[in-house]
Amino acid sequence: MSILITGAAGFIGFHLCSRLIETGENIIGFDNLNDYYDVNLKKARLLKLKQSSSKKNNFYFFKKNLENLKDLNEIFEKYKPEKVVNLAAQAGVRYSLENPSAYIKSNIVGFGNILELCKVHNVKNLIFASSSSVYGGNIKMPFQESQGVDHPISLYAATKKSNELMAHTYSHLYNLPCTGLRFFTVYGPWGRPDMALYLFTKKIFNDEPIKVFNNGEMMRDFTYIDDICESLLRLLVKPATKSSDYKNEDPDPSKSWSPYRVFNIGNSNPTNLMDYIKVIEENIGKKAKIEFAEMQPGDVKQTFSDCKELEKWIKFKPNTSIEYGVKEFVSWYKGFYSS
Sequence-distant (≥ 6) Cβ neighbours of residue 45 within 8 angstroms: 9, 10, 14, 190
Indicate the CATH number for domain 2-186+223-267+304-319. 3.40.50.720
Contact 24, 58 (CB under 8 A): yes
**Which among 236, 211, 111, 227 is positioned nearest to 168, based on CA atoms?**
111
Give residue 6's Cα distance to chain centre: 11
Active-site residue among 37, 60, 103, 156? 156
Relative orientation angle of helices 111-120 and 69-79, to the nearest 10 degrees: 40
Q: Which amino acid is at 289?
A: K
- pLDDT one-digit tens code per residue, 295-332: 877 677 889 899 999 999 999 999 999 999 999 999 99
Identify whether 156 is a catalytic site residue.
yes
What span, in angstroms and rounded, lies between the C-alpha atoms of 254 and 212?
34
Which helix (DSSP H) or strand (DSSP E) does residue 277 occupy?
Answer: helix 273-284
What span, in angstroms and rounded, lies between the C-alpha atoms of 319 and 251?
30
> What is the number of alpha carbons within 13 Å of residue 181 lying toward its C-beta?
27
Q: pLDDT at position 44, please?
A: 97
Which helix (DSSP H) or strand (DSSP E) does residue 2 occupy?
Answer: strand 2-6
* Tens-level pLDDT at each residue, the chain (339 residues): 799 999 999 999 999 999 999 998 999 999 999 999 999 999 999 999 999 998 889 999 999 999 999 999 999 999 999 999 999 998 887 788 788 999 999 999 999 999 999 999 999 999 999 999 999 988 898 999 999 999 999 999 999 999 999 999 999 999 999 999 999 999 999 999 999 999 999 999 999 999 998 888 889 999 999 999 999 999 999 999 999 888 888 888 889 999 999 999 999 999 999 999 999 999 999 999 999 988 877 677 889 899 999 999 999 999 999 999 999 999 999 999 985
90-105 as b/e: b if 16+ CB within 10 A? bbbbebbeeebebbbe
Contact 306, 262 (CB under 8 A): no
Per domain, the residue ranges of the chain are: 2-186+223-267+304-319
Which helix (DSSP H) or strand (DSSP E) does residue 182 occupy?
Answer: strand 178-183
In the chain, the N- to C-terminal Cα span, in Å, equals 37
Contact 219, 271 (CB under 8 A): yes
What span, in angstroms and rounded, lies between the C-alpha atoms of 32 and 88?
9
Q: pLDDT at position 99, please?
A: 87
Q: Measuring CA to CA, how many Å separate 247 from each of 167, 243, 310?
A: 19, 9, 20
Enumerate the β-bridge partners of residue 263: 181
Q: pLDDT at position 244, please?
A: 87
What span, in angstroms and rounded, lies between the C-alpha atoms of 256 and 177?
11
DSSP type of residue 302: B
Q: Which amino acid is at 245?
A: D
Q: pLDDT at position 339, please?
A: 55
Q: pLDDT at position 300, please?
A: 77
What span, in angstroms and rounded, lies between the C-alpha atoms of 249 and 228?
34
Predicted TM-score (pTM) of this structure = 0.95
